[in-house]
A and B are shown apart, each in its own frame.
Chain A
């Protein structure tokens, strides 16, 4: 009897997990954030996301088809995730052509030129964001002020982010108590009623997405928690030393892209360390650099730079911070 049996090596079963499932899991986690941004920024938010995603997919397809001549991995979701994350890092009133330029930088330069999925040292969406922040500083920093269900498409009011107000005010020597009147209430920041890029405004939706990814085991708690804890600790110390000069930890965590960065950008699998210890060091590094840039640097926001800087350290972290090997240090008892 010839059954023509399959010969394969153990293990013969698989968890059924796939790159596609992981990536679509991230996309699901981003849905609440997206809905909130549509609620606050209206049709424009829809426009920016769609253009960004479509442009990312198009660039990936073109490059794989005509330059690499490899099989297309268009639908594994990774380009889609990059597109959504890029959109979330942009103001909703950005001109279409700029979004396409951003998508090109993210996919063609930051991802495909290194060899595609899994090879890029830096987070593609963040590379694009930083590229655009430096190239188009005016457009990238005039944020539409969110107005619930504003579908009118008339000239929306623009303003600075909470972090921008803080930075500008402190530079002009205004006291902190004065400044606190200009920045949104903590509760508003939690919901997202403040100026900012599309994805970073609502802390609640971001945390919800993060919990979803943690539950689906797409990410572990190490990176987000260590980033946020470091920011809280560092700004807490500064605030305790001089409350007139430095804002509260809760302001620093809720304002700007700290949560978006900590939950969605820093946890990008490709560009984060492999071991738990490494993840903690990575997170602490991001937290420290973020606060340093925010408080002492020229830019009001620092988390994108912080993540990119720490991305560069990832190979080094992987080399020196190995996972705890079984039987390496013996503690018997």
Chain B
């Protein structure tokens, strides 16, 4: 079964980097964090339209109760993660650094909705039909848990003229430091496999592939054992390479198919779902449990106990950090997410949301962004860009506000992986400017389409 180590491992073809992994919290059992006294649940925790609040100030809610209803196709339901009384509905800071409408609940006890199955029994028999599964996933407010938080039911609703051939489960976790997916795989492998089969049924595909990077040999071993023999699910070990967790890169790695520029994975017959999402789907379909908790990895420089926690949505980040021994002396940067694509947060009272895969505490001595030197045209950014773009060129155009020219250099293809900024010897903030250019170019395109 150790064939994954003997032959050349698959990976994507263009660009990529290999930052130090530093997965300090690897192997730490998932600990369920005690419920905090108060939670703040933003009504927008996903990509798309903000959800519409259904509860009022003073309402008493139970765990799993619907708090806000999805307000469009690309939107998601938000459920109560604790039981208690709604004390306020106001705009509060979330981890984005902006204020969002949030439902603030004072916790009273831990009372769940009756139809939620809280036992540990594994239910592998899938009774629902394809359309029912998609509908239920929508109801349960499930979004992509890899960090992008794209509503899952949208990805599962395949346009009529297209057909899915493969479901790809993204178990790559290519971001350094993060271990939440890895630990989830080690502890909930059976549930993940059932979740995968549910997603396969929803998509009407008969082939699924789980892509795991080779720095998690125990997970590869475990899944290969569970799925040994002829199986509908294949485990593929991948060479460690960032950003392999990007959808397009992962499809290239496991199937050698290239998603055309500006198209979606479904255009090459693939649907990619995160391994955490597969677990959430299992819980939602088999146990009636909405997406109200997730695994969050807490790690950082000099942290006493790097850990993996099962956390209710809306728990303040502060609670998680305290559980690991408090903010280490000298920490000056706290990141929500991974170090390559996460966002830094300015305050500790912000809540954990559906997209929080990790909380990292860094001691950074050098600034990466505002002291930069001239471009020496070393072409390192070009050679590491996984999308084959020219970051140096995009940045120089964005710096000069030449956005109309920029469109021809395809900033819209950028997946914002940060490999260019990571590798630049002049410490140039390439991605910062490309992001700016990307949004400006998108605006130009939108305006043109409107006309």
Contact = CB atoms under 8 A, between A and B. Distances in A.
A–B contact with Cβ pairs below 8 Å: the answer is yes
B261 A6 contact: no
A10 B366 CA distance: 14
Contacts of B390: 274-275, 322-323
A133 B60 CA distance: 89
B388 A22 contact: no
Given A22-B425, A118-B375, A326-B248, A11 B259 contact: no
A228 B345 CA distance: 52
B404 to A, nearest CB: 17
Interface in A218-233: 220
A5 B346 contact: yes
B227 interface: no
A24 to B, nearest CB: 11
B118 interface: no
Nearest to A275: B382
A270 B258 contact: no
B427 A274 contact: no
A3 B362 CA distance: 13
Given A269-B377, A269-B378, A328-B388, A18 B261 contact: no
B84 interface: no
B339 A325 contact: no
A1 interface: yes
A6 B345 CA distance: 8
A331 B14 CA distance: 14
Residue in A1, A11, A118 with the greatest tally of chain B CB atoms within 10 Å = A11
Interface in A1-55: 1, 3-15, 17-19, 21-22
Given A11-B418, A327-B259, A1 B348 contact: yes
B176 A13 contact: yes
A72 to B, nearest CB: 12
B36 interface: no
B134 interface: no
Interface string A78-104: 100000000000000000000000000
Contacts of A322: 390
Interface residues of B, number: 74
Interface string B421-440: 11111110101100100000
Contact of B432 (A9, A14, A18, A323): A9
A325 B389 contact: yes
B345 A15 contact: no
Contacts of A152: none
The secondary structure that dominates the B interface is: loop
B373 to A, nearest CB: 6
B386 interface: yes
A324 B14 contact: yes
Contacts of A15: 17, 19, 422-423
Given A322-B390, A326-B248, A328-B388, A10 B343 contact: yes
A333 B251 CA distance: 12
A40 to B, nearest CB: 32
Nearest to B387: A326
A17 B425 contact: yes
B368 A116 contact: no
Residue in A12, A271, A273, A328 with the greatest tally of chain B CB atoms within 10 Å = A12
Given A5-B334, A7-B97, A10-B431, A325 B342 contact: no
B392 interface: yes
A322 B389 CA distance: 8
Interface string B172-210: 000010000000000000000000000000000000000
Interface residues of A, number: 48
A73 B333 contact: no
A19 B388 contact: no
Contact of A330 (B260, B366, B378, B382): B260
Contacts of A1: 348
Nearest to B376: A118
Contacts of A9: 343-344, 369, 429, 431-432, 435
A220 B383 CA distance: 10
A157 interface: no
A276 B337 CA distance: 33
A7 B344 CA distance: 6
A18 to B, nearest CB: 5
A332 B429 CA distance: 34
Contacts of A76: 373
A119 interface: yes
B97 A19 contact: no
A325 B382 contact: no
Contact of B344 (A8, A117, A270): A8
Contact of B388 (A6, A21, A323, A333): A323
Given A3-B327, A274-B382, A327-B261, A332 B333 contact: no
Nearest to A332: B257
A57 to B, nearest CB: 18
B386 A8 contact: no
A325 B252 CA distance: 13
Nearest to A16: B366
Contact of A8 (B368, B419, B426): B368
A117 B428 CA distance: 14
Given A9-B343, A14-B368, A18-B426, 4 more contacts: A3-B331, A19-B373, A275-B390, A325-B389
15 contacts: A9-B369, A11-B419, A12-B333, A13-B19, A14-B421, A17-B425, A18-B427, A19-B425, A76-B373, A119-B374, A270-B376, A324-B14, A327-B260, A332-B257, A332-B268
Q: What are the nearest 9 A-B pairs in CB distance? A: A11-B418, A269-B378, A327-B261, A118-B374, A325-B388, A274-B379, A17-B425, A326-B387, A13-B339
Interface of B: 14, 17, 19, 97, 176, 248, 252, 256-263, 268, 327, 331-335, 337, 339-348, 360, 362, 364, 366-369, 373-380, 382-383, 385-390, 392-393, 410, 413, 416, 418-419, 421-427, 429, 431-432, 435
Interface of A: 1, 3-15, 17-19, 21-22, 73, 76, 78, 116-119, 220, 269-276, 279, 318, 322-328, 330-333
